[in-house]
Amino acid sequence: MTEQTRFQLNETDLPKFWYNIYADSPVAPTPVLHPGTMEPVTPDFLSVLFPMDLILQEISSERYIEIPEEVREIYKLYRPTPLLRARRLEKALGTTAHIYYKYEGVSPSGSHKPNTAIPQAYYNKVAGTKAMTTETGAGQWGSSLAFACNVFGIDLEVYMVKVSYHQKPYRRNLMETYGARVYASPTDLTNYGRSVLAENPGNLGSLGIAISEAVEAAATSNGTKKYGLGSVLNHVLLHQTVIGEEALKQMDMADEYPDVVIGCVGGGSNFAGIAYPFLRENLKNGKRARLVGVEPTATPTLTKGVYTFDYGDTAKMAPIVKMHTLGHDFMPPGIHAGGLRYHGMAPSISGLVDAGLIDAVAVKQKETFEAAIQFAKAEGIVPAPESAHAVRVAIDEALDAKAKGEKRVILFNLSGHGNFDMAAYESYLSGKLEDYEYPAEAVKESMSKLPQVNLPA
């Protein structure tokens, strides 16, 4: 077995195609519904928000979709990203497991998000879009789209969840450095933002509210602005599969294959990015890797949410999709996992969890930061709080293998660094962080507010 630690591909190994899980999934895609009529949406409805190329990717059943050369050229600024074996962490744990991590923090914005931001900005540029709107929680998506829009000469306005706007000022500064305008959501710039503030002037915001504001800003712009989404929908998850496609080649370089593949989940993009190519291998080529999505106990979408049709945003302007949901009126606590605070989950992931093809676990905030610091001390990289959820479960898997005397090959996606998140680490180190478990009773109450969908059998 090689003693190599770092497995690096060349530019020539950069994937030429994105992988579409719907080509192989035994779970058929569910319809996307109009929030007003509750009928299946038409391309004309979606074209208010997205350019046609992205709409066609959203509904495609093709297994592979070619990555435009212009996108691959920008990808080359940071891709292929490295795969590393966490030998120092293995030693610290005294485990019999082999731990590998795919490190997406080498991108310009420090996370996996440019993998979809770049193609979204590209397809908007091709369609003649001059300006875009979006939302962001922790700021990783907003900074990534700000980078991509700057590359392609598109103006951008970002509605940032207010609690993250104040918790993570350097993410906001990074977006502004790339030329974006950033607003603390809820704002007084949109009709919906004003209505939220009228009801509660101290509202800390949520991803659902920020989505509502960004969608409203695009939808009421008379076609002058389009909307960019950082997770949940299929075209977004599709773009992220460059992660897993590279990881498959790199695990070959390591002469090993993962028994378990782990990623944090908020809306689902980085988890799908690493897991879907391995799921294809399970479905088509007889592999048996376990796929595990990790979420906070404070936002337990997959572990406590209901698999049903719900609105994609709080104001009920975004399309209705079938997903695991905590209810579109979900108001998350101010935990330091900003990118994992969405009320719903990607429809494709939700269906696969429901079918038993993907596992989901929830972990507490303090044990997540404990794992993050253990990883940082061993491997030198400070994980983003979101990514630390995957670190927690990777360590748990390694300790379980140790207890059972098993060799277990563990692969997780380190989806971003935490260099802009040191306020969260300060809170943990000073003992200010508290664990919080979202109550099942609150989920049950929210289910009474779901849209009444009656589709023909």
Kindly report the length of the chain.
457
What is the block-wise mean pLDDT of the chain (457 residues), using blocks of 10 residues?
86 97 95 91 90 95 97 98 98 98 97 98 98 92 97 98 87 96 97 96 89 94 95 96 98 98 96 98 97 96 96 87 93 67 92 98 96 98 96 98 97 96 91 90 91 77
150: number of Cβ within 10 Å: 18
- The pLDDT of residue 111 is 96
Does residue 20 contact residue 197 with C-beta atoms inside 8 Å?
Answer: no
Helix (H, G, I), strand (E, B) or coil at 363: strand
- Of 369, 158, 386, 385, which Cα lies nearest the Cα of 269? 386
- The CATH architecture annotation of domain 6-14+67-110+240-449 reads 3-Layer(aba) Sandwich (3.40)
Helix (H, G, I), strand (E, B) or coil at 144: helix
In the chain, the amino acid numbered 353 is: V
Gap between the Cα atoms of 47 and 54, Å rounded: 9
Instruction: Tell me the two tokens of residue 371.
Output: 């794992």
Tell me if 398 sits within 8 A of 408, measured CB to CB.
Answer: yes
Burial of 326 per CB tally in 10 Å (0-12, 13-18, 19+): buried
User: 332 preceded by cis ω (within 30°)?
Assistant: no
- pLDDT computed for residue 331 by the predictor: 77
Reply yes or no: is the peptide bond before residue 80 cis, omega within 30 of 0: yes
Please state the φ and ψ torsions of residue 417, each to the nearest 5 degrees: -90, 165
Q: Are 411 and 262 in contact (CB under 8 A)?
A: yes
H or E element, residue 17: strand 17-19
Q: What is the CA radius of gyration of the chain?
A: 20
Please tell me the distance from the alpha carbon of residue 121 to that of residue 269, in angstroms, as a whole number: 17
- Give me the pLDDT at residue 191, please: 96
Predicted pLDDT at 457: 53
pTM for the predicted model, two decimal places: 0.95
pLDDT score of 1: 46
Alpha helices in 178-293 (DSSP H): 191-199, 207-219, 234-240, 242-253, 269-285
CB 333 within 8 A of CB 356: no
Q: What is the rounded CA–CA span in Å between residue 298 and residue 275?
A: 23
Separation between Cα atoms, residue 61 and residue 158, nearest integer Å: 31
Do 293 and 322 contact (CB within 8 A), yes or no?
Answer: no
| CA-based nearest residue to 229, from 71, 42, 58, 446 | 58
The number of beta carbons lying within 10 Å of the beta carbon of residue 170 is 15
